[in-house]
Structure 1
Amino acid sequence: MANFYSALLTIVTIVAGLIWLYDAKVNKPKRLEKIADEERRLQQQLDEEARQRVAPQGGIAEFAQSVFPILFVILILRSFFYEPFRIPSASMMPTLLEGDFILVEKFSYGVRDPLWRTEFIESGRPERGDIAVFKYPPQPNLDFIKRIVGLPGDRIIYRNKTLYIQPACDTTIQTECPKLEVVARNISDSDAVYFNGARPLQVAEEQLGNVSHQILLDPTVGGREAFYFKQSGTARDEWIVPEGAYFAMGDNRDNSEDSRYWGFVPEDNLVGKAVFIWMSFEMDRPSSSWLPQWVPTGIRWQRLGGVE
């Protein structure tokens, strides 16, 4: 479960903190009183070792006191600042590869509590072209990562593997609404070669808002409009993004389960923005290997750095 570790970390931190607090407020004064009585009896001040023998701190309380500060710092950093994620699939190739480990900036899209994810500080919203982590709408206990293509109010068309966007129009402040435009895309001369199974994929450069990035297209895959999410009042390959929601797509366009198939990403499902690759493992171990498939075969040092 995507929220399991957040909930577990929060509960363990709270329990450790309560044990430490109880020990400090209830047990510690009793220990100090016992030590004072022993010092009066002996008429001398005891050193630390002797104090521990006279009134030792319980093992559980000592452990809680030592780990609580560490757990608290980790909880704050993970809940409100940065959280590590592992890329589990090929849906964001070539931008993100399976085996990449990324940092997600949690405060980019609002500061939320780690358990119920209620936003209590508004700190920003996704921009077109952002790579966002969010709770998968059909199954919110899973985390998904895709690129934000459509903003609230946008009209999105994906037809013949070509993306069209008509930005939202506020008639109260705009005298002329933007027109539907094709998203600029050019087949790239990249030296990198990507495959879907044994099939080579085309690499294309796409300009999405202010973000220039690469996408992959599979020439052997035809239209999949029959499987698209059907929004009432629109064509099968057309969507109007509702207020408070976003339209997300994978960069590996013919190998991505995204908004085209299950609909929109509610604002409340947003987790954060992918900003940095801090580790990248090669995971191309052959099935004949005696080692488990999850054991890396190498490190892709050249991939470490910022995410676009």
Structure 2
Amino acid sequence: MTLLQWFIFFLAVQVIHFAGTWKLYEKAGRKRWEAAVPVYNAVVLMQIINRPRWWVILLFIPVVNLIMFPVVWVQTLRAFGKRSSTDTILGIVTLGLYVYAINYNDKVTYTPEGDEERKDSTVGSLLFAIVVATIVHTYVMQPFTIPSPSLEKTLLVGDFLFVSKLHYGARTPMTPIAAPMVHDTIPFINVKSYSKWPQLPSFRFPGFEKVEKNDIVVFNWPADTVVKFRDQSRVGVRKPVDKKSNYVKRCVGTPGDVLSIKDGVVMIGSKPLQLNDRARLQHQYILTTVDGGMFDSNYLINDLKINRSDFDFDTSRNIYLFRALTGENAEILKNNPKVKTIEKRVFATDPANTDTSIFPHSKPGWTVDNMGPVYIPEEGKKVDLTNETLPFYKMIITEYEKNTLEVIGGQIVINGQPATSYTFKQNYYWMMGDNRHNSEDSRFWGFVPEDHIVGKPVFVWMSLDQNQSWGNISKKVRWERMFTTVGGDDEPVSYFKYFLAALVLWIGFSFFRKKRNAEKA
């Protein structure tokens, strides 16, 4: 949406507001022209409906303003005597057009609410509570659920997290017309929750830290599209950036790094990436037993905490295939008398083959365990463009930084001009799952742009084991994971008991305070 289009849209809103309220301004003792002056008219309206002036700020916050408009419509109706439930419903259902009706009704008089009447406005209070919750959800803290095992055993499927928007800086919504506090789909009715038009430019408030290597990060999946079937053909529908699916991975490469993977080990330059103590990397392992011996499944599942879906036994070869096994568990099994051999499975390079699923989809021999080097783009840095390097940066140039790109007779052309280099407009990151052979990550779709970063998981407030029924609640709820922090080098510690103690103290304090106040009364 261009600046001119935004100006026309803003002007249209002002005209609509003036046409539907100018007589109400006069009935409230104000001047007609005050309803026509942008921003000032909102300040005056707050005075008319007896609401604080800072509410005007909320009218200009994307997504939040979609809820504030009904709040203002309802409060305007109430200020002119329309206080019944029917009036409230009409004001919301007609998208504010009911205000037009009372604006041109000569029998309507200005009767501002008193303090007690304002408290009785249930709908208005409910709408404003939604406004506050939306602000917190959008700019401060967002709940998030771990849906896949890509970070096991660091984060588990069934972990419920709080994701901080403040650490890396809250990002303003790019899709301003959207249902509050839901992502791309409205739950239960499975309907798209947003309008692709209009789109706002990306803006991020200052944060108090930058994305660092080893950080676990929530971000919008860069490659996300909605695939529809139309006439037996696949049609990819691009989502707005802030409505792409939310992913959570570990950042293993930051802007300016040269990253490679050698036999499953992430290398930054010539040095292995140093992970923190909480990282629990998992790989595939092949285990051969002695004389066809098998493990008790309960030992693998309950004692070693290996998911049942992550191992199989081939009776014809006396072999276990572990799809996801930590190095710690591999050592335990290695020392078991039933084990003959155990080896980590590494996908070696094969120069004779090109796996097109591996980024940048054109490198012979690259695999999930052996690839690189890859330069991770840094804002303001320039890279040479050749037919060899172009596949690394094509998505950046076209999709993420909105340029046109053609290759004409071997010549790279950007925005209609021949180009031998490109300067990046933002930072990029390389994200990977700790479950290295069961994670869809940067090895498959490349870089994560900075404007796709959502926030930093900081707290696990609930954890449910998907393999246990609610009938066995003692095992269904992972009590040891409740109220644990996500970051840090030490082992996670549950603060649940301290939360319960604080809750009991608060309930007790509230009870005795009410009892004391009742005795004084």
* 8 Å Cα contact 2:468/2:476 also seen in 1: no
Q: Which has the higher strand share?
A: 1
Match status 1:306 vs 2:504: no
Q: 2-side partners of 1:248 and 1:107: how far apart?
A: 20
1:23 is aligned to 77
2:490 is aligned to none
2:68 is aligned to 14
Classify 1:283/1:223 alpha carbon distance in 2 versus 1 (closer, same or farther; 3 Å): farther
* 8 Å Cα contact 1:9/1:71 also seen in 2: no
Q: 2-side partners of 1:221 and 1:74: how far apart?
A: 47
Q: 1-side partners of 2:212 and 2:122: how far apart?
A: 45
Match status 1:121 vs 2:205: yes
2:458 is aligned to 275
TM-score, normalised relative to structure 1? 0.68
Q: 1-side partners of 2:457 and 2:327: how far apart?
A: 21
* 8 Å Cα contact 1:86/1:99 also seen in 2: yes
- Write out per-residue CA displacement over residues 85-138 of structure 1, whole angstroms, 9 at most, x where no aligned residue: 011010010011111100100111122223457324221320111100000001
Q: 2:246 aligns with which of 143, 146, 157?
A: 143
- Write out per-residue CA displacement over residues 142-180 of structure 1, whole angstroms, 9 at most, x where no aligned residue: 1100001100010111121111112xxxxxxxxxxxxx1
TM-score, normalised relative to structure 2? 0.42
Classify 1:23/1:197 alpha carbon distance in 2 versus 1 (closer, same or farther; 3 Å): farther
Q: 2-side partners of 1:263 and 1:88: how far apart?
A: 21
Q: 1-side partners of 2:62 and 2:158: how far apart?
A: 25
Q: Which has the higher helix share?
A: 2
Instruction: Give 1:220 shift.
Output: 4.4
Decide which structure has the larger Cα Rg and report it.
2
Instruction: Give 1:192 shift.
Output: 3.5
Could you list the runs of 5+ residues in structure 1 that have no partner in the other structure?
1-6, 36-47, 167-179, 206-217
2:418 is aligned to none
**In structure 1, the residue corresponding to 2:460 is in which secondary structure?**
strand
Q: 2-side partners of 1:120 and 1:156: how far apart?
A: 27
Classify 1:297/1:18 alpha carbon distance in 2 versus 1 (closer, same or farther; 3 Å): farther
Q: 1-side partners of 2:465 and 2:62: how far apart?
A: 30
Match status 1:182 vs 2:236: no
Q: 1-side partners of 2:201 and 2:149: how far apart?
A: 28
Q: Which amino acid aligns with 1:228?
A: I
2:168 is aligned to 109
Q: 2-side partners of 1:11 and 1:121: how far apart?
A: 18
* 8 Å Cα contact 1:221/1:254 also seen in 2: no
* 8 Å Cα contact 2:80/2:112 also seen in 1: no
2:377 is aligned to 242
* 8 Å Cα contact 2:252/2:273 also seen in 1: no
Q: Cα RMSD (Å) of the superposition?
A: 3.8
Could you list the runs of 5+ residues in structure 2 that have no partner in the other structure?
1-60, 83-108, 177-199, 225-240, 282-302, 313-320, 329-342, 379-426, 488-521
